Structure 1
């Protein structure tokens, strides 16, 4: 369950991901030498492939929320001031951002990876990992550029310095964006999967609308 108690932070299902060369076992997100001309200090040690992968995650994140937050309860966790990310955001070792970059100088090159912090404990981890890889690889194939600056140290999501869009506040809002005709989810997964998965979430919404709760 993502949020069992209303006055405490919820239960996360953060996913860590890296890519390695199968022949050399080299971490493909790591840069052999620091980039003196990096657009942001945070990605000084991140490879070009890693930057494109990150850009793909950033661009696609709002469109795949029903996979990262699949239940009514998921969105009780994704609220401000409870250690959960609520906007599209990223940063080096930033534990408030939706995507935390782990890389030198705070980690070894072989440990370079992304921690996607949006998913909660109620997700299907296989679908979450497949989604991360699909979005990241779309960024690599399209050579996408990182569209927003990183969160700085001490900066929280939702603040004046946070340029990221607000993630869906409900399963209904998330599902509408997920199934829209121009959704990135449709681009990476195809119509059959999106229509089916959206249908399962709409079924849950119908059951919720009919439920008589303690509230």
Structure 2
């Protein structure tokens, strides 16, 4: 049974699709503050009522939501996100819709990550801007979830037989495309058993939804092939970690706000200020874009991970890269933030990035000249001369820097900001009391 890509506009479109394709269940998707997917299923007979009234659930059981004495939450399905799950059998297909979380009185719930991103997008829209994002999510394929047994010894752009994940990537792409997700290309990444599938850029909210879908599809298709996919930032010592480089642009009245034909870098004043905003506030929002203890095992010099706050056009050691302009490709002018990792909450990550860029535009931040030299090989004196600073070196440092950020607090809102900080400090406390294999191997024979 061939399933089409749906472009539902309202509840009636969804109910017709459910009937026409004999859909057995509809999964309602939303996420906690860390970006962990939450889901429950309803039957088609409950669908109409859910569009009118939503579906109630206990919010106190969701990380970062609410206390038990205010636990009633309502999930309101977004009909425009209706698609049939490509990894499920098609005889009685299962569909999914993303939900917005609201209070019992119908007001938006401030702890909802999707609502957080919507607020920032609305602020941009008030100025006439549409935000587009094109994230590149890398992942590893291992034998199972219990360890890091690799499936191949392939490297960057290697082909079979060195690349043994080609068939898995192919099936992932087919599954994504059948859910309406446009794919540009895929390839083996630098590390053994590491892969990347690049999606075509899309509007911010749609892309955040797409990232959530991408992560599910990658894991499900890997499972069907008898292996395990992980978006853990740094699973293997000594090898490159997995990033989520996020390409960003703003459009206004169909024109790329970042492009200026007369500038030597083909960047407009607004484009430069946007990038300056990203650079200035990146240390403050690193706890959002890189929210795990393991994230900072990736963000170290020498593994293609950008830790230095600078920008460039061709230099991949810089935090921000502006791909070289190609004549006739004005619409493709964009900036690429290279520090985020694929284990971030995409809604909150996009929100803080956009807020930082808009802040730079609003206040006319000035952008320094690009740094095209390899920053990884600069000594401290050269770094200081070029006014190059670094991102936080640990989750603890990132959380402490975020706590002082008025921008991040305003962007996330008091509720998410406080819950996220508390969660990160608790995670750091759990991590710092662990006794690792490294310590046993290093110190036990000496002491």
Question: How does the TM-score come out when normalised to structure 2?
Answer: 0.43
Which moved further from structure 2: 136-145 or 117-126?
117-126
Show the counterpart of 2:366: 145
Q: Partners in 1 of 2:356 and 2:323 — Cα distance?
A: 19
Q: Which of 152, 155, 170 lines up with 2:374 in the alignment?
A: 155
Q: Which has the higher contact order (CA 8 A, sep 6+)?
A: 1
Deviation, structure 1 residue 105: 4.8
Q: Secondary structure at the match of 1:178?
A: helix
| 8 A contact 1:86–1:158 mirrored in 2 | no
Give the conservation status (yes or no) of the 8 Å contact 1:103–1:111.
Answer: no
Q: 2:234·2:295 contact (CA, 8 Å) conserved in 1? A: yes
The equivalent of 1:15 in structure 2 is: 246
Q: How does 1:31-42 map to 2 (within 5 A)?
A: 31=260, 33-35=261-263, 41=264
In the alignment, is the contact (CA less than 8 A) between 2:312 and 2:371 conserved in 1? yes
1:177–1:183 Cα contact (<8 Å) kept: no
CA distance in 2, matches of 1:93, 1:194: 35
Deviations 1:161-188 (A, max 9, x none): 55321111100011011102x5542354
1:78/1:85 contact within 8 Å kept: yes
Q: Return closer, same or farther for 1:106/1:89 CA change in 2, 3 Å cut-off.
A: farther
Structure 1, unaligned stretches of length 5 or more?
36-40
Structure with max Cα Rg: 2
Q: Spell out, residue by residue over 1:107-126, the C-alpha distance to the aligned partner (whole angstroms, 9 max, x if none).
A: 82211111100012221222
- Give the equivalent residue in structure 1 for 2:12: none
- 1:89 and 1:99 in contact (8 A); partners too: yes
* 8 Å contact kept, 1:28–1:47: yes
Task: Look up the match of 1:167.
Answer: 391
Kept after mapping to 1: 8 A contact 2:310/2:371: yes
Partner SS, residue 423 of structure 2: helix
Compute the RMSD of aligned alpha carbons: 2.0
The structure with the largest strand share of the pair is 2
Q: How does 1:199-214 map to 2 (within 5 A)?
A: 199-214=422-437
Q: Which moved more, 1:169-178 or 1:191-200?
A: 191-200
Query: Cα deviation per residue 1:126-182 (whole Å; 9 max; x = unaligned)?
Result: 221111101000111111111x33112x432461255321111100011011102x5
Decide whether the 8 Å contact of 1:103 with 1:113 is kept in 2: no
Alpha carbons 2:351, 2:411 under 8 Å: kept: no
TM-score (norm: length of structure 1): 0.85
Q: Please say if residues 286 and 392 of structure 2, whose CA atoms lie closer than 8 Å, have aligned partners that are also in contact.
A: yes
* Corresponding residue of 1:38: none
Q: What's the counterpart of residue 29 of structure 1?
A: 258
d(CA) in 2 for partners of 1:195 and 1:99?
Answer: 28
In 1, Cα distance between the equivalents of 2:329 and 2:236?
37
